[in-house]
Chain A
Amino acid sequence: MIDTVHLGLALAIIGPILGSLVVGLTIVLGDSYPKESLATRVVGAGLALSIIGGLLVLASLWGLWGAPVQGDVEFGDWLRIGDYVIPLVLLVDALSVTIALFAAVLTSLVVRFSRTYLHKEPGFVRFFGLLGVFATGTQLVAFSGALELFFAGWEMIGIASALFIGYFHERDEPIRSSIRAFSTYRFADAGLLIATVTTFELLGSARFSALFTANTLPAVESTVLALMFLLSAMGKSAQLPFSSWLPRAMEGPTPSSALFYGAVSIHAGLFLLLRVWPIFAVSPVARAAGVAVGLATAIYAASAARVHSDAKGALAHATLTQVGLILAEICMGWTTLALTHLVCHAMLRLGQFLKAPNTLHETHRVGHHAYGPSWLERVSPHLAARVYAASLHRLRLDDRIDAAFAPILALAKGLDSTDRWLRRVVSLDRPAS
């Protein structure tokens, strides 16, 4: 007999991906490409199941049917071999239910919006298929009770995000932006993977509940662990020095920009930090680093937002400003304030992003407002000009990252030349004509 909380959790996570699977199988096995109506209905139904599941979990948390359920909910083991276990454990608490329901409802709103907005776009079906993958990723991230499951959801969000950025793939720029965003994700994700493995080795389990024993760890180990988590959060939430992918991500369609970079995905890194807070609580160095990164990002993004000439780019930097502040709040220990800030900010930005295509019309209607010189211009015109230039060029972050990776690419090309020479010398084949 399946109880309410198990059923709710299963529906919340599996519902959206079922929609995507049906769409994917229809593409691969069907005789013709699926119609728009099929994609919207199937993915919409999957999301409806997810919301129903989330509500069932909420009811269980509140104890509407029997005793309140809170804490780890076991689904058995995904894998158990020797001492190593990947538990299929989901975590039900106020934080997980809030984030899961919030994400599912926002995704459903975006589905409704996109039905009209993307009508007759060539990638319509692809868009909806990916939305299902994204929704399952967010539910997994929200409900997972162990780092391995969390990482699975985290990766699904990353893959969907990269593919959404490259949605308009007929142009070169979206593809380049997609690759840059995905590269940043993957390298920052290395931090999460290392943290997952390390947590298991140090604490004997990668469950979030195991992190409550983090105060038994030596200071160096807990600090390294917390810094690894911080690294992955910085990548996902576009904090300095990984901020340059966010304005590039605006190449994607407006609904996905709204959902990912206004509402849900951009806050995923912050959710991770809230989830692993016990390890931060015992690591002042990591907390200080988080505050510094968050405030630096907020200042940088606020400056960049003020000089941006396109609506989505300015919104992206405005989002980043608030995300930086939330990161600082979390690392200062104000977790309840941070969660409230996160939810309110996500709702505001979703609306603003979805309205972004109307900005030109609104500007014409309302008219331009002439601004006088800023306080900085009055104090030091020279400094103001320098800040303006730096903000306009976004601190040349892309160039700096490219310069940092240039030696690695040069090494790779050298290795490739050596490899080709080696294979030419050893090969018994005649060169291909």
Chain B
Amino acid sequence: MGGDTLQSAPWETFVVCVLLLVAPAVASPRHTRPWWVVALVVTLGTALFTADGRLAYVAVAAGAVLHAWNAAPRSVTGAAVLSISAALSVAVAAAIGQGALTVAFVISCLAIALRSGLLPAHVGAASLCERVPLVQTEQLSSMIALVFVHLRFVDHHEGAAALGPWLVAYGAGAAIVAALLTIVQRDLRGFYRGTTSMHAGMLLAALGTASLGNFGAALLVAVSMGLALGGLGMMITSLEERVGAVGFAGPGGRGVTFPRLAVLFAFFGAAGVGMPGTSSFVADDLLLHTLWMASPTATVTVILSSALVAVATLITISKVFLGRATPSLAPDLGIRERLVAVALVVLLVTLGVVPGILLYPADAFLSGVPGG
């Protein structure tokens, strides 16, 4: 593996993160301030490109604070949890400085759990999903950067390897509980909350396998999760801007009124549960193989979780978009919304068809000496 190929891993992750960050801003420019986006891009760049673990975690913390600032007017809980995550990231930086890598690893896992919505630390992410799904979409970009930094700087030692099987078991358990929660939700935001938590469980399990040496797989799981959930969050925001909050008890039939929105929602929903042709399919397959090495029980649990969420996704699509047409004066997706959604689709499909473009450099880069 050449040095140039190795160095492409942060760049590719950077592109994915920036796309996820900028997509909502392009789709709904009135919600976003340019300086805020620029500041976040700077934090992302710093976190991904610096060779100093402490600086990377401080940059991640700064990003979390910026997201918290954005979330605060509508979700105090979300802002508070993002701030706690920022504080934890600073603590990781301090622990790295002290050479206490096992402590850094544990705290970093906690920060990721808070950001991704892992049960039962999902209160903040749940509040964001329910109150400001667009902010949840944006903060997924920084979460991917956090996972990258975690894999690069605090996941290469015996302490992490010893904790890996525990993370796998806990992640799989959290995923199945979240999947069960998802299947009984009664509104669109509840579905988004539940599916986010299920993915958080899978992500933690993937981090557990990373501790055992499967770095690229964990990053691909994080990226696929970010892209699929980011797309879903954008579609939910677009729909609710047109028709208000969507419950399952009310009339459905919005697919006739908003066919493009329905098609894209279905695509991102299916991508979230491992649709063939998207990066999630490869990520799930890779995750299952790496999980099997740690725990066959966890593998079966994750497979069942994904099946449950797939059914919940179809139920959601049918309740929201299928049924007798509900008239609406609001237009279907605008050109800006369509373009950013298609960009996410292209990225999901590209990483699904040729996953090696991210996976090979990422695995080689992250498997190396921390910060090297």
Contacts and interface: CB of A to CB of B under 8 A. Distances in A.
Does more than half of chain B's interface fall in helix, strand or loop, or is it mixed? helix
A39 to B, nearest CB: 13
A162 interface: yes
Interface residues of B, number: 64
Contacts of A169: 255, 318, 322-323
Contact of A409 (B75, B184, B285): B184
B76 A429 contact: yes
B174 to A, nearest CB: 12
Nearest to B304: A190
A25 B323 CA distance: 24
A156 interface: yes
Contacts of A82: 213-214, 363
Given A28-B264, A153-B276, A429-B75, A84 B289 contact: yes
A429 B77 contact: yes
Interface string A405-433: 00011011101100100110011110010
A166 B285 CA distance: 28
Interface string B222-252: 0000000000000000000000000000000
B95 interface: no
B278 to A, nearest CB: 10
A300 interface: no
Contacts of B123: 422-423, 426-427
A122 B325 CA distance: 11
Interface in B159-179: 177
B284 to A, nearest CB: 9
A159 B313 CA distance: 12
Interface of A: 17, 24-25, 27-29, 33, 77-82, 84, 86, 122, 148, 151-153, 155-156, 159, 162, 166, 169-170, 172, 175, 178-179, 182-183, 186-187, 189-190, 193-194, 196-198, 200-201, 408-409, 411-413, 415-416, 419, 422-423, 426-429, 432
Interface of B: 75-77, 80, 119-120, 123, 126-127, 130-131, 177, 180-181, 183-185, 213-214, 216-217, 253, 255-256, 259-260, 263-264, 270, 274-277, 281-282, 285-286, 288-290, 292-293, 299-300, 303-304, 307, 310-311, 314-315, 318, 322-325, 338, 341-342, 355-356, 359-360, 363
26 contacts: A27-B259, A78-B355, A81-B359, A84-B290, A122-B256, A151-B276, A151-B285, A152-B276, A153-B276, A159-B270, A178-B314, A178-B318, A182-B314, A187-B304, A190-B304, A193-B303, A194-B303, A196-B285, A197-B288, A408-B180, A416-B185, A426-B77, A427-B77, A429-B131, A432-B130, A432-B131
